[in-house]
Amino acid sequence: MTIRCLVAACVVVLSAVAGAYEKKVLWKSGDNGVKIYRIPALCTAPNGDLVAACDARTWNGGDLCVYQPINITVRRSTDGGKTWTAPANSWTWDWKENGSRWSGSDPSFVVDVVAKKIFLFYNVWEWEQVEANARAAGDEKGLRARRHGVYRFFVQESSNNGKSWSKPREISKDIAIEGWPCGAEEGKGGFIFITSGSGTQLKDGTLLHTLVHVGDGNALFGSPDHGKTWKPYGKPAKGGDECKVVELTNGDWMINSRCGGSKRLIHVSKDKGETWTSHHDTTLVDPGCNAQILRVGKALLFSNCNAGGRKNLYLRASIDDGKTWSEGLSIEPQGAAYSDITLLKDGKTVGCLYEGAGYATINFVTIPLADVKAQFK
């Protein structure tokens, strides 16, 4: 039976569970001297613990290129999300007025179940260098303007399921995409960044993640050796914004990308990213918001706001590699934005970490996998 034939059954399921999942607030804006917490990332560690992360934006809600200290804050759960450790920075970047000032933003995880490691990626901005670039350009009034800076890419790793993290290692040059102006100032066409959320591990053990060049397209980078080295994979796919990559059942790679215009942009490659075919999926609403896609067995799960704006967060599923999608389960009917999802250790529960209304909270919920499977009966 196809998904399209299951709409009536899906509606019955939805009426029973819409908005019924109990949420737990992991971060609340204003707590711990932090103005706003944003940009969630969530993973299941190799031992089954949950690890959650987000931006601690100290002074305002602005992105990385807005002047302020930002660090990545992390919490862990050893009991499936019932209780969590206190927030702690994965690394505290140096910030001294009139001196060295660094910020790190947009966390994302890749879990290596073979090497039993978690890799935490994020983008970094160095304000001292931004100001030096501005002065060199004769822009004394624009010393804090984003156009004089460039995002740099760093990774930390944990070998103990997120309890502690290595010193940040820069991989900007390692993963630079041929043909993209990596390392160039944004005003010169270089607004390039690693997407927040989660990357993936392929069946052959390769670690794979996504890069975005705003206004240009999507690209992939990863590691063939469990994080010892990182490199680009294939060539860029034209078009798209924040995106996620997943391996299809036949071994093809699929990028699911934000692009606005109320529809998602899909890129598919049959040759490890060397060439891409692209189309818009009009069944997946895109209110200009970062989403997450996850493989669970033969199914794909997808979390995103199913509305014309940032609200009504849904979890949808596909059993045909994204050709068609279920109507979905309502996780948060009110305000919501970025989200990430993971399969819990029990193999029966999906965890979702997401931004709440007005970016006032970062919330965690669990959804029984049985609710997802019920849509296909």
Instruction: Name which of 348, 304, 199, 318 is nearest 249 in CA terms.
Output: 318
Which residues lie below 8 Å from residue 137, measured CB to CB, with a gap of 6+? Answer: 148
- What is the distance between the alpha carbons of residues 331 and 80, in angstroms, rounded to a whole number? 18
Task: Give the pLDDT confidence score for residue 12 in this predicted structure.
Answer: 33
- What is the distance between the alpha carbons of residues 287 and 298, in angstroms, rounded to a whole number? 27
- DSSP, residue by residue, 291-319: -EEEEETTEEEEEEE-SSSSEEEEEEEES
- What is the distance between the alpha carbons of residues 165 and 211, in angstroms, rounded to a whole number? 23
pLDDT in tens, the chain (377 residues): 333 333 333 333 333 344 579 999 999 999 999 999 999 999 999 999 999 999 999 999 999 999 999 999 999 999 999 999 999 999 999 999 989 999 999 999 999 999 999 999 999 999 999 999 998 988 877 777 788 999 999 999 999 999 999 999 999 999 999 999 999 998 889 999 999 999 999 999 999 999 999 989 999 999 999 999 999 999 999 999 999 999 999 999 999 999 977 899 999 999 999 999 999 999 998 899 999 999 999 999 999 998 888 999 999 999 999 999 999 999 999 999 999 999 999 999 999 999 999 999 999 999 999 999 998 87
- What is the distance between the alpha carbons of residues 123 and 107, in angstroms, rounded to a whole number? 8
Decide: residue 82, CB within 10 A, 0-12 exposed, 13-18 middle, 19+ buried.
exposed
Q: Token pair for residue 243?
A: 């995106």
Q: Token pair for residue 88?
A: 């702690």
3-state secondary structure 120-165: EEEEEEEHHHHHHHHHHCCCHHHCCCHHHCCCEEEEEEECCCCCCC
Which residues lie below 8 Å from residue 33, measured CB to CB, with a gap of 6+? Answer: 58
Task: Give the pLDDT confidence score for residue 11 in this predicted structure.
Answer: 34
Task: Give the pLDDT confidence score for residue 140 in this predicted structure.
Answer: 78
With the C-alpha atoms ordered 125, 127, 133, 138, is the resulting torsion angle positive or negative?
positive
DSSP letter (8 states) at residue 85: P
Task: Give the pLDDT confidence score for residue 19 in this predicted structure.
Answer: 55
DSSP letter (8 states) at residue 141: G
User: Which H or E run includes 279?
Assistant: strand 277-281
Task: Give the pLDDT confidence score for residue 161 in this predicted structure.
Answer: 98
Q: Token pair for residue 51?
A: 């690890």
- What is the distance between the alpha carbons of residues 355 and 229, in angstroms, rounded to a whole number? 32
Where do the domains of the chain lie, and which CATH numbers do they carry? 3-376 (2.120.10.10)
For the chain, report the end-to-end CA distance as a whole number of angstroms. 9
With the C-alpha atoms ordered 340, 158, 368, 85, is the resulting torsion angle positive or negative?
negative
Task: Give the pLDDT confidence score for residue 145 in this predicted structure.
Answer: 79
Strand partners, 247: 253
- Other CB atoms closer than 10 Å to residue 365's CB: what's the count? 21
- What is the distance between the alpha carbons of residues 88 and 56, in angstroms, rounded to a whole number? 10
